């Protein structure tokens, strides 16, 4: 499996999480939506995040 980096843009905030939507770039989404806990992101969550997927050991 080759290493993949997928970009996400903030969609909305919930009480305890920030919801990000995958930037599909014309392809079907590999992940779609991802929720990240607010305590992890801090006071000002980034507008965009990137997730890198590699094969586990």
Give the model confidence (pLDDT) of 2-24 as tens digits.
999 999 999 999 999 999 999 98
What percent of the chain is modeled with pLDDT above 70?
100
Q: What is the Cα–Cα distance from 24 to 42, expressed in whole angstroms?
A: 26
Tokens of 41: 């992101």
Q: Rounded distance, CA 15 to CA 37, Å?
A: 10
Q: Which of 16-20, 23-27, 32-36, 42-46 has the lowest mean pLDDT?
A: 23-27
How many domains does the chain contain in total?
1
Q: What pLDDT is recorded for position 55?
A: 92
**Model confidence at 57, in pLDDT bands (50, 70, 90)?**
confident
Domain of residue 28, residue span = 4-53
What's the pTM value of the predicted model, to 2 decimals?
Answer: 0.88
Task: Flag whether pLDDT at 1 surpasses 90.
Answer: no
């Amino acid at each position: 499996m080759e290493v993949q980096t997928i970009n996400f843009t903030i969609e909305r905030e919930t009480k305890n999480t920030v919801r990000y939507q995958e930037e599909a770039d014309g392809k079907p989404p590999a992940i779609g939506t991802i929720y990240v806990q607010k305590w992890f992101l801090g006071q000002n969550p980034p507008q965009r995040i990137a997730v890198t997927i590699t094969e586990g050991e």
